[in-house]
């Protein structure tokens, strides 16, 4: 981890998502916002649950069809501390 507190963290994990350990580290980083880019909605949902349990809220989400004529959808979700 770099010294200081980040304003925004952009997370683009592999298809299986970030996982609990990475989410816990990011939630504790002091960032004011986490932008999560996901290629698997199920992994995003799981990691969003971890963030919610750590006191974060989903501010916005958007699905993007970056691969037309396939079943793949990218999602961008923005999280902020709930307090």
| Positions marked catalytic | 39
Scored b (16 or more CB within 10 A) or e, 30-64 reads: ebeebbbebbbeebbebbbebbeebebeeeeeeee
Query: What is the rounded distance in angstroms from the CA atom of residue 7 to the CA atom of residue 4?
Result: 10
CA terminus-to-terminus distance, the chain: 24
């Amino acid at each position: 981890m770099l010294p200081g507190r980040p304003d925004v963290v952009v997370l683009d994990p592999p298809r299986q998502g970030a996982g609990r350990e990475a989410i816990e580290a990011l939630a504790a980083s002091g960032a004011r916002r986490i932008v999560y880019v996901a290629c698997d909605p199920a992994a995003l949902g799981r990691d969003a649950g971890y963030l919610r349990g750590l006191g974060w809220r989903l501010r916005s989400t958007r699905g993007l069809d970056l691969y037309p004529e396939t079943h793949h959808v990218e999602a961008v979700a923005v999280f902020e501390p709930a307090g």
